[in-house]
Chains A and B, each alone.
Chain A
Amino acid sequence: MTILLEMKDIHKVYPNGTAANRGVDLTVYEGEIHALVGENGAGKSTLMKILFGLEAPTSGTIEYKGKPVSFKGPKDAIEQGMGMVHQHFMLAPSLSVSENIVLGEEPKKGPLSMFRDRATERRGIVKLIETYGLKVDPDARVETIPVGQKQRVEILKVLYRGARLIILDEPTAVLTPQETDELFASIKALVGQGYTIIFITHKLREVMEISNRVTVIKAGKTIATLNTKETNPEQISRLMVGREVLFRVEKQPAEPKEPVLSIRDLHSVDDKGAPALRGISLDIRAGEVVGIAGVEGNGQTELVEAITGLRRATSGSIRYLDKELVGKSVANIRAMKIGHVPEDRQTTGASLTSTIAENLILDHYRNPEFKRGPFLNKKKIKQFAKVMMEIFDVRAQNEEVLAGSLSGGNLQKVVIARELSKNPKLLIASQPTRGVDIGAIEFIHREIIKRRDGGAAVLLVSAELSEVMALSDRIAVIYEGEIVAVLDNTPELTEENIGYYMLGLGKKHREKEGAAQ
């Protein structure tokens, strides 16, 4: 095995004083898939940004193909045959797919190569798409395509530039299992053609499935590099977190009581006015977790928004305890002890430029308890935030820290803390563990079960089928805006069973009958 890349004793101190890397070593062989794992904030992305020339290391050396390199910017790295798919999308939304792919390396024509050669551009991209089987419409504007396709565009960008070493920073965080499978197939094909991959993920299952070797980083330092074949998820997680992590959610059988939420024949439309919900009926009872399974884009988002008042229902009813939710304002609904963990914590679930405390009091600032005369009661708020941070193990200096400077896992804990702090009778959790590390996942899962056992009704929406299966007592499968099946989560239930309904191949529905009563 030849060494392709060697990073030695990398240190990085950000201008604000954060020491993100404090002596990381990383060795990557040619033609391998090298997984990089570590908790949120361990310094993985930072290390990769340094490699790619986006950040300058404070100290340390990088050898690439046997020669020491120091990149002044991504341009140098790209020239050396590196490509990086970033953790957050690096796409210009109003440009087309093909414009995004060729950005900076456009085919040119005309006098002085002044103009874009759109014909060549298009041909090249069509060929690229065919070669790697990454299907996406080259003429679509990026803002109009779903996340899975955006991820493909990111990979196409890298391939278009002829990269041989490809860095993938949490590429699967936003993908559905199907999309992940497709991505893995592409990655394997690439490796077969001699490409080298560095792969960052929080999902150890994926590490085991695809990587050759794995490097574990903790608090900015390399802990170990292991051959995947010779290790197991338990060992990796122990190295990452420093303790045992339970992968299975420990829970007792549910003891469901009266229905808390009864949805009947709910219809609604998406942002563009197309029908998104076509007659949803579903009951959720106190003390149970109902998971929604489905391929993304089948109405999950709209369903959650309709319940929480963010989207208008065109018809149907949503009864919560003895009240009708359809037609109520968001503020009214939030005041009824309904907790909502939204799917996108960065844009919807938190205000990144506000402090942790300001994020936490979203439901309480109207509350007389948090007021003193006409003013907000600073002391009370501070105290409240401190307690919440303590209970939910939010790791930050204090409650005045800006939410945006928290790692993904910690930010998610803030969101969960806020939504649970009102003791919800109904908890709606959308993608509650997307992009958070295994320690945090364990914590969040435990909280959800704790609420269920405390008598709350829980609606769980997740793209991770395994998460749905691990937490739910019943699983409702959504397909094209309809609930096509509601299944009891017995040990016999398999992913294949559910997948059958997710692809719209069959129907099995109980609440439909309930609706007819």
Chain B
Amino acid sequence: MKTEKAIYLELAGIAFAIVIALLCGFAVILATSAEPFTALSSLIVDPVSNLFNIGTILNKAVPLIFTGLSLAVVFQSGVFSMGAEGQLYAGGFLGALVAVNIHGLPAWIHFPLILVCAMAGGALFAGIAGWLKAYWNANEVVTTLMLNFVAILATSYFVNNVFKDPASGGYARMPYISPDLLLKKPIPGFPAHTGFVLALLAVVVVYLLLYKTKVGYELRLVGKNSRFADYGGIHTNRVIISSIMIGGALAGLAGIVEILGVHGTYKDNFSAGLGFDGIIIALLARNHPVGVLIAALFYAYIQVGAQTMQVGSDMPREVAVIIQVMLVLLVSSQAIFAFLKQKYATRQKAVK
């Protein structure tokens, strides 16, 4: 769809933004660090300097890819949901319940069943907001923000009181999930778990869904112009509900993959804002699945960078976070891209 030139231009824009962001970050580092070069290299180089950190980046990117996809789907249908966080809890919870409490199934049935239940949990919970929007005209920003609290509190109650592993001590969790159901780390010495493969698969599936299927066509049309969709005979309410539910299913997957890949079981409060990070990822990616993959990797990279910088230099966590914010802001600056495009366009004209 895009010409090769446009893609190069976009890449040049990203490179340009990153350079500026790094310059800004460097200024902050110079102002606050006694060893600016060490700090900078521990921010930029350390995250990719060894297999361990690279694996960590991949692992961190996995849930972000899922929540990013979740929100990309929802945003594409013109719904501004902030509910991935709650859906992630709901889905992760249901998936974990199935993982922990069903015994005797062969793993090749049990594992997909867990994923399906997590998706169902996320989707059904998301469906509440969808239903409220489609049939009760209730603004989705409000309902999803509120439902997040409901999901977090409700799952917290259940894991603390009903499904708690008696051996879990001060912080509640469910009993550990049997190791053959967990996501493996197939390469020795490389901490990345196979969730990344699932995430890549999800990117492909969502891409196909959005751009190659009837459902995706309807969904995007409703997002772009719902009056046109109505006119074309598309049931916009149904489409809105299904897009929110697809988003919920993806958020549920984010939760269960994080559980199966990192935590080993459902732990109270395990997400720490993955659903909100997903909003940033989706917006950075301009709601495109492939963009989500790149944005999530980028975001994970700078998060790991913030950590390695803290370890490898005298920078406190907060400064690392500030640099992280700068990077995100500048990379998402449309003006920089427009500026480059215009430069390019006028040069083309001058050449002619």
Contact = CB atoms under 8 A, between A and B. Distances in A.
Nearest to A352: B225
B217 interface: yes
A333 B233 contact: yes
Nearest to B352: A19
B234 interface: yes
Interface string A1-45: 000000000000101110100000000000000000000000000
Interface stretch (A193-201, A343-351, A449-457): A343-351
A350 B229 CA distance: 9
A329 B232 CA distance: 11
B342 A347 contact: no
A376 B208 CA distance: 10
A348 B213 contact: no
A232 interface: no
B345 A331 contact: no
Contacts of A331: 233-235
B228 A349 contact: yes
A17 B208 contact: no
B227 interface: yes
B230 A310 contact: yes
Contact of B213 (A16, A19, A334, A376): A376
Contacts of B338: 15
B212 interface: yes
Given A15-B341, A375-B212, A376-B213, A348 B231 contact: yes
Nearest to A309: B233
A511 to B, nearest CB: 27
Nearest to B226: A351
A205 interface: no
Contact of B231 (A13, A310, A374, A400): A310
Nearest to A367: B214
Main secondary structure of the interface of B (DSSP, over half): helix
Interface in A359-386: 361-363, 365-366, 371, 374-376, 378
A442 to B, nearest CB: 26
Nearest to B214: A365
Contact of B345 (A15, A354, A362, A376): A15
B137 interface: no
A348 B231 CA distance: 7
Contacts of B341: 15-16
Contacts of B227: 347-348
B233 A334 contact: yes
B77 to A, nearest CB: 13
Nearest to A305: B231
B102 interface: no
Interface in B207-223: 208, 212-214, 217, 220-221
Contact of A376 (B212, B221, B230, B342): B212
Given A16-B341, A17-B349, A351 B221 contact: yes
Contacts of B212: 375-376, 378
Given A13-B349, A15-B345, A351 B214 contact: no
A355 B220 CA distance: 12
Interface string B313-352: 0000000000000000000000000100110011011000
Nearest to A375: B212
A88 B4 CA distance: 34
Contact of B225 (A19, A351, A371, A374): A351
A353 interface: yes
B224 interface: yes
Contacts of B187: none
Contacts of B1: 355, 400
Nearest to A359: B228
Given A16-B345, A17-B345, A375-B212, A353 B231 contact: no
A283 interface: no
A366 B342 contact: no
Interface string B227-267: 11111111100000000000000000000000000000000
A482 interface: no
A342 interface: yes
Interface residues on B, range: 20 to 34
Contacts of B233: 309, 329-335
Contacts of A354: 220-221, 224-225
B224 A351 contact: yes
Contacts of A342: 231
Contacts of A99: none
A363 B349 contact: no
A355 B211 CA distance: 12
A333 B233 CA distance: 8
B345 A363 contact: no
A241 to B, nearest CB: 27
A374 B348 contact: no
Contacts of A361: 217
B346 A13 contact: yes
A437 interface: no
A310 to B, nearest CB: 7
Contacts of A353: 224-225
A332 B220 CA distance: 21
A358 interface: yes
Interface string A63-85: 00000000000000000000000
B328 to A, nearest CB: 25
A335 B233 CA distance: 9
A46 to B, nearest CB: 16
A351 B228 contact: yes
A330 B231 contact: yes
Contact of A365 (B217, B224, B235, B345): B217
Interface in B192-215: 208, 212-214
B232 A334 contact: yes
Contacts of B346: 13
A362 B212 CA distance: 14
Interface in A371-409: 371, 374-376, 378, 400
Contact of B228 (A16, A308, A348, A378): A348
Contacts of B342: 15
Nearest to B234: A331
Contacts of A19: 349
A415 to B, nearest CB: 10
Nearest to A329: B233
B99 to A, nearest CB: 29
Given A351-B225, A362-B232, A375 B349 contact: no
Interface in A275-309: 308-309
Contacts of A365: 214, 217
Contacts of A355: 1
Nearest to B220: A354
A351 B78 CA distance: 13
A371 B213 CA distance: 8
A15 B346 CA distance: 8
Contacts of A329: 233, 235
A19 B349 CA distance: 9
Nearest to A16: B345
Given A15-B345, A351-B228, A353-B225, 13 more contacts: A17-B345, A17-B349, A330-B233, A342-B231, A347-B227, A347-B228, A348-B231, A351-B224, A352-B224, A358-B221, A371-B214, A375-B212, A375-B213
10 contacts: A15-B342, A330-B233, A332-B233, A350-B225, A352-B225, A354-B224, A358-B217, A358-B220, A374-B213, A376-B213
Of all A-B residue pairs in the complex, the 6 with the closest CB atoms, nearest first, are: A331-B233, A330-B233, A351-B225, A17-B345, A375-B212, A362-B232
Interface of B: 1, 208, 212-214, 217, 220-221, 224-225, 227-235, 338, 341-342, 345-346, 348-349
